[in-house]
Amino acid sequence: MRKTRSAGGFRLHAGNVARTLALALALAAVTTGVAAAAAAARRSGVVDVYSAGSLDTLLSDSIGPAFHRATGYTLVNTPGGSSTLAAEIRNRTAVADVFISAAPSINAMLEGRRNGDWVSWYASFAASPYVLGYYPKSRFAHDLRTMPWYKVITMPDFRLGRTNPTQDPGGVLAVRALRATATRRHLPALDRLASESSDEYSETTEQAGIQNGELDASFMYEADANSQHSPFVRLTGVKVQGDYTIALLHHAPHTAGAEAFIRFLLGPSGQRALRADHFIVLSPARATGRGVPAALGGVIR
C-alpha cells in the first residue's frame, strides 16, 4: 500500500483506503453468498410419500435418514397396497406429495380430470422379480428347496399367502403366476388357488405370517424378501416382476421437498441403496407422460 509522509509520520493515501474498503466489502458479500447458498441447500419440513409396501423398509431405514442428512427434509412414508393408496389420494382421504407404485398401470387411477388430475407423468426407476418367500422352519422348507414350487404349494395343509389383487399389484402378479403355470403345467389345482380368497392378506399381515410361521410361504418381491431376511425360491417357468414408478402429485403441498426427494432417490445415493436391497435399477429413470419439472431433468429422461 502506498504511503505519504506528513509532519506526524506516515498516513494512508485516501485512494488506497477506498480500494481496501471496497475489497473488504466484496469479500464479505462473497462469504455471505456462500453461506446463503449452503443454507438454501438444506431445508426443513416434511415430504409425504405414499409408497408400495415392498419399499417400506428401504425408505424408512435407509433412504429416509440419508435424505434427511443430505437435505434437512424429513421423509414421512406411508406404505400400503399401491391400488389402495392411489384410491385414497384420488378420493382426497389422504394428502401426499409423492406417489410410488409397484405397477405403472396404477397411475391411471390418478390421471385425467375425472380422477382429479393428480398425475400427468410418472417415471419408471426400478424393478424386482416376484418370488415365493417361505418360513425357514416350515415343515415344507426342504420341499421348497428341492422340488418345483408349483407342486409344493398344492400339498395338503400347505399355508400359502398373497395380497388381494384388487388392492395390490403383487396380488395381481401372484394370480398371473398361478394361472400361467396352471396352463403350462396342466395343473388345475393352481387355477383353484388363483381363484380363492382365503389366502389373501394385507402386506403387513402377510410379512408377519412368514416371520412367525403362521404361513409356510407367500408370494412377494425379491427385494422385499431380502429386506426382511426371508429365504425364497424363484418362480421357475414363469417371469413376473414388479415395476416401480414415481410421480410428483400435482397438488403436492410440499413441492420443493418432493422434488428434492425424487432427485435424491433417483440420484447416486438412492440408486446405491436400491441396488444394495437387490432392486434392478433403471438409470436414468424413464418418463411416461408430459410435464416433468425442469428440476428433475438430470435424473429423469
End-to-end CA distance of the chain: 56
Across 4-20, average pLDDT: 45
231 lies in some domain: yes
CATH (domain of 64): 3.40.190.10
Residue 56 to residue 26: CA distance in whole angstroms: 49
186 lies in some domain: yes
150 and 160 assigned to the same domain: yes
Q: Which domain holds residue 208?
A: 129-241
Q: Output the pLDDT for position 51.
A: 97
63 and 74 assigned to the same domain: yes
The reply to whether omega before 284 is within 30° of 0 (cis) is yes
Domains contained in the chain, number: 3
Quick: pLDDT tens for 127-145.
Answer: 999 999 999 999 999 999 9
Residue 109 to residue 210: CA distance in whole angstroms: 31
Across 142-155, average pLDDT: 97
Query: What's the Rg (C-alpha) of the chain?
Result: 27
62 lies in some domain: yes
**What's the pTM value of the predicted model, to 2 decimals?**
0.82
32 and 156 assigned to the same domain: no
14 lies in some domain: yes
Across 13-42, average pLDDT: 45
Residue 41 to residue 14: CA distance in whole angstroms: 41
DSSP string, 204-271: HHHHHHHHHTS-SEEEEEHHHHHHTT--EEE-TT---EEEEEEEE-TT-TTHHHHHHHHHHHHSHHHH
301 lies in some domain: no
Q: Output the pLDDT for position 16.
A: 52
Q: Output the pLDDT for position 42.
A: 59
- pLDDT of 24 > 70? The answer is no
255 and 230 assigned to the same domain: no
112 and 134 assigned to the same domain: no
Asked if 133 contacts 220 with a C-beta cutoff of 8 angstroms, the reply is yes
Q: Output the pLDDT for position 19.
A: 53
Residue 294 to residue 77: CA distance in whole angstroms: 25
134 lies in some domain: yes
Q: Output the pLDDT for position 183.
A: 97
83 and 21 assigned to the same domain: no
Q: Which of 241, 265, 280 is the endpoint of a domain?
A: 241
- Between 40 and 16, the more confident residue is 16
Quick: pLDDT tens for 196-220.
Answer: 888 888 877 888 899 899 999 999 9
Q: Which of 225, 241, 257 is the endpoint of a domain?
A: 241
